Structure 1
Amino acid sequence: MTTVRLTTHAGQRLRQRGMRESDLAFILANGTDVGRGVIITEHDTANIEREARNLIETAHNLKDKLLVVNRDVAITTFHADRRQHRRLCRAA
């Protein structure tokens, strides 16, 4: 299940419960199909937390790494020093 259409009733319940349509997309993408619907289980939550930690670790590992791109072609990559970092961010 990737997308759903909302009935008028479901839209009303969504608003009453303070949920957004993006919450539904998140549940559909990350939850467990239980036949009658999709639920975020404790196991799903643990998987999401693990993926988030991995993403954060990757971001820290790639901090200040520059990928030089021309159109759709990767030209080179290197670690930008402070001076390069300031110059690149100022020019952006």
Structure 2
Amino acid sequence: MQHHYTLKGKHLTITERYLIERWNRDGKSNRQIAQLLGKAPQTIHNEIKRGTILQQVRKGKFERSYSADYAQLVYEDKLRAGADCP
């Protein structure tokens, strides 16, 4: 467990996103996840907000949940879009 934050501007890796997904599913708070990863709590909040999708769990029943794969796709799309801009 880390007791300091990483430097600003350091992007989350897919591995970190999978850890966020697992810990979030296990009920850990954003602050607990941030402490485990050595990130700012606001970074975790923003990441979960950005990577949350609506999934159908059964007919007529939907739940919001964080998806590391979806969050990674959003990140890569934004990265590509930024690279395309002059």
So what's the TM-score if we normalise by structure 2? 0.38
Q: Which has the higher contact order (CA 8 A, sep 6+)?
A: 2
So what's the TM-score if we normalise by structure 1? 0.36
